[in-house]
């Protein structure tokens, strides 16, 4: 297998209208290229004063070549650098060419096979994907294709797949009015399996009361699964923050849920660190501070994310100082209104087992061994996860903790402190070049006793971020990062029901895992036809996995069905909370020898996607409470 910089994924064909010859340039995985005046003049032996020195930047990301799957093509983006805008010409799903102007003020554009960038009236660049990376949308049923047609006046959902999982697919969509790209997550609505109902009805061992109880239980479990599906957008619809992924529109039908979100073009934080290596303290501080801004906003609004990890943090750009976005709110919980939460502080507690091993607080791990009832855990679990992310950014290594021992139900806090040994911050070689302030921050976030852990507000006031020598520069960097973000102007009509009155015709299949280059999609446990979401995680031990699996709630979900699902995929961008039996070690990260915290030097980042809210007019507005899935308000 070729190295990441040798893997050719596409070609750029440079043309001039006055010449017959076509110049071809290769595009390789995880690399970037500039096309400008020099390339044009050298190719055609002409003067090209209308072309800027660096006119367009092409950037390719592949993220996980070991588990490459051609169903999700590498993400190749174009950014206009010149003051002279370009015209993007692309073919729509109806076969008609569409074009629109793209300037340096616009966000990155995800390129599709056949897209043409017209740099001037005479010069153009065509993007040609390799045949194995041609966009496909197989696995969709007839219902989804028909519903795509009904959505077209407002959003054109393309066949460019961003991610695929057990019961969801993520596609690029284009907003009809602005031609701006967004991400569309497609989730089939679950239904009770008719065969399961028939088995209950035919079971002669059941009396009428038992039969009614079994049928009622099926209905209850179906409603629970629907509730789980709506949880993410039910949470996001009221959030409006530059460091939280912007929900633009949710359209749901009797058969599917379509969630439209801003398209984040820089990949996830895990891929970013794999590419950049260990970060210097200034760059790490910029990223961690933005994550904390998001967490502070969530906690102030009574929301706990519960699954913060590098895969759920997206980058709007690969440049230093880019805006950072927290995503995947499938495990988030609302713990009460903001005033009540402020009064209760860390008192309000939850008991379910959530999170990703390696980023999960010890009080959550202890849930695996016993029901803590009055203990449980609080929103402090998010702060633990932030500390773990900071450790990875600063050292390339996970925080050293013996997680099987951390789950011992008989350990008190003193013993748990030994199982989760933070002395590595002083003894491990990979921490020796890290300064005192970031070490102190990690200790404050990773306190075993959650009552001693920093709150989000306290963490933002930590000396790592507030030192008088660079606090102003950190704040200036933050303001540059979010300069082009615009808040949604309202939440009205964000969630809409459309009665499509179409039925699916294809049988569903079972997918084993998740593959996504953009944002997380729910995945399923292998060979388990249900809506019980699962994931692969970067897990250091199998003992912890066994405990996670043993404590998942609910019985077999074979009586639940959904339609349809995609074929099995490898996992490159994992989500959710159930640990898969297969593990991958954290990616190796090349270390950067420069770790001292001098004056940050962070260039002004480019403009980013503007997550404006949709002006989609009402369609068949109907009482949400009487239609599937249940309305988000019922899940607060």
What span, in angstroms and rounded, lies between the C-alpha atoms of 338 and 281?
33
Is the CB of residue 536 less than 8 Å from the CB of residue 547?
no
Is the CB of residue 279 less than 8 Å from the CB of residue 192?
no
Residue 318: left if φ>0, alpha if ψ -120 to 50, beta else—which one?
alpha
What span, in angstroms and rounded, lies between the C-alpha atoms of 149 and 156?
8
What span, in angstroms and rounded, lies between the C-alpha atoms of 459 and 453?
9
What span, in angstroms and rounded, lies between the C-alpha atoms of 194 and 222?
12
Is the CB of residue 373 less than 8 Å from the CB of residue 351?
yes
Q: List, as one string, the DSSP characters of 392-453.
A: HHHHSS-----HHHHT-TT--HHHHHHHS-TTHHHHSGGGTTS-HHHHHHHHHHS-SSGGGS
At which residue do the structure tokens 């949880």 appear?
231
Is 175 flagged in the annotation as binding?
no
What span, in angstroms and rounded, lies between the C-alpha atoms of 93 and 109?
17
What span, in angstroms and rounded, lies between the C-alpha atoms of 112 and 162?
12
> How far from chain centre, in Å, is Cα 117?
28
CA 124 to each of CA 22, 36, 89, 587: distance values in angstroms, whole numbers, following the listed order: 10, 11, 10, 38
Residue 10, token pair as written in the block: 């596409």
What span, in angstroms and rounded, lies between the C-alpha atoms of 275 and 240?
30
Sheet holding 123-129, edge to edge: 23-28, 8-16, 123-129, 116-118, 86-91, 97-102
What span, in angstroms and rounded, lies between the C-alpha atoms of 55 and 40?
11
Is the CB of residue 528 less than 8 Å from the CB of residue 557?
yes
What span, in angstroms and rounded, lies between the C-alpha atoms of 130 and 110?
16
Catalytic positions: 307
Residue 303, token pair as written in the block: 């929301």
Q: How many CA atoms lie within 13 A of 569 on its CB side?
A: 36
Residue stretches of the annotated binding site? 185
Residue stretches of the annotated binding site for ATP? 185
């Amino acid at each position: 297998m070729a190295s990441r910089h040798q893997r050719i994924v596409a070609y750029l064909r440079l043309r001039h209208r006055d010449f017959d010859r076509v110049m071809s340039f290769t595009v390789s995985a995880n690399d970037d290229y500039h096309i400008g005046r020099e390339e044009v003049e050298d190719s055609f032996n002409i003067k090209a004063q209308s072309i800027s020195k660096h006119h367009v930047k092409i950037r390719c990301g592949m993220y996980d070549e070991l588990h490459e799957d051609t169903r999700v093509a590498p993400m190749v983006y174009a950014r206009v650098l010149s003051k002279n805008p370009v015209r993007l010409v692309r073919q729509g799903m109806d076969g008609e060419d569409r074009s629109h102007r793209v300037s340096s003020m616009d966000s990155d554009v995800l390129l599709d096979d056949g897209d043409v960038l017209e740099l001037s009236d005479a010069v153009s660049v065509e993007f040609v994907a390799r045949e194995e990376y041609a966009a496909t949308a197989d696995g969709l049923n007839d219902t989804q294709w028909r519903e795509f047609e009904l959505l077209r006046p407002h959003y054109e959902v393309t066949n460019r797949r961003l991610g695929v999982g057990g019961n969801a697919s993520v596609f690029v969509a284009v907003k009809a009015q602005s031609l701006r790209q967004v991400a569309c997550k497609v989730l089939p609505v679950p239904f009770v399996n008719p065969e399961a109902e028939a088995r209950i009805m035919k079971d002669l061992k059941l009396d009428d009361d038992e039969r009614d109880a079994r049928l009622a239980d099926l209905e209850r479990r179906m409603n629970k699964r629907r509730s789980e599906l709506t949880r993410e957008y039910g949470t996001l619809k009221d959030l409006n923050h530059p460091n939280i992924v912007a929900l633009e529109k949710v359209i749901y039908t009797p058969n599917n849920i379509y969630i439209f979100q801003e398209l984040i073009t820089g990949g996830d934080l895990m891929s970013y660190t794999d590419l950049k290596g260990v970060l210097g303290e200034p760059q790490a501080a910029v990223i961690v501070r933005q994550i904390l801004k998001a967490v502070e906003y969530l906690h102030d609004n009574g929301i706990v994310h519960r699954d913060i990890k590098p895969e759920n943090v997206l980058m709007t750009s690969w440049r230093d100082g880019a805006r950072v976005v927290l995503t995947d709110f499938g495990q988030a919980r609302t713990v009460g209104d903001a005033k009540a939460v402020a009064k209760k502080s860390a008192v309000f507690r939850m008991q379910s087992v959530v999170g990703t091993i390696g980023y999960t607080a010890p009080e959550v791990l202890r849930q695996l061994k016993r029901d803590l009832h009055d203990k449980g855990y609080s929103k402090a679990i998010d702060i633990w996860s932030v500390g773990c992310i900071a450790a990875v950014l600063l050292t390339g290594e996970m925080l050293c903790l013996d997680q099987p021992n951390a789950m011992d139900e008989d350990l008190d806090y003193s013993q748990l402190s030994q199982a989760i040994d933070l002395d590595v911050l002083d003894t491990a070689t990979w921490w020796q070049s890290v300064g005192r302030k970031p070490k102190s921050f990690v200790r404050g976030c990773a306190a075993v006793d959650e009552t001693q852990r920093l709150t989000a507000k306290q963490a933002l006031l930590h000396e790592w971020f507030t030192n008088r020598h660079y606090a102003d520069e950190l704040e200036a960097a933050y303001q540059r990062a979010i300069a082009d973000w615009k808040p949604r102007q309202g939440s009205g009509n964000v969630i809409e029901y459309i009665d499509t009155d179409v039925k699916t015709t294809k049988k569903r299949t079972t997918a084993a895992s998740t593959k996504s280059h953009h944002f997380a999609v729910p995945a399923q446990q292998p060979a388990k036809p249900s809506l019980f979401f699962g994931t692969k995680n970067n897990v250091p031990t199998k003992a912890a996995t066994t405990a996670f699996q043993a404590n998942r709630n609910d019985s077999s979900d074979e009586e639940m069905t959904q339609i349809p699902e995609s074929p099995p995929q490898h996992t490159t961008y994992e989500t959710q909370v159930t640990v898969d039996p297969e593990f991958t070690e954290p990616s190796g990260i090349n270390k950067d020898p420069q770790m001292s915290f001098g004056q940050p030097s962070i260039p002004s980042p480019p403009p980013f996607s503007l997550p404006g809210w949709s002006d989609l007019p009402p369609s068949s507005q109907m009482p949400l409470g009487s239609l599937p899935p249940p309305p988000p308000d019922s899940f607060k």
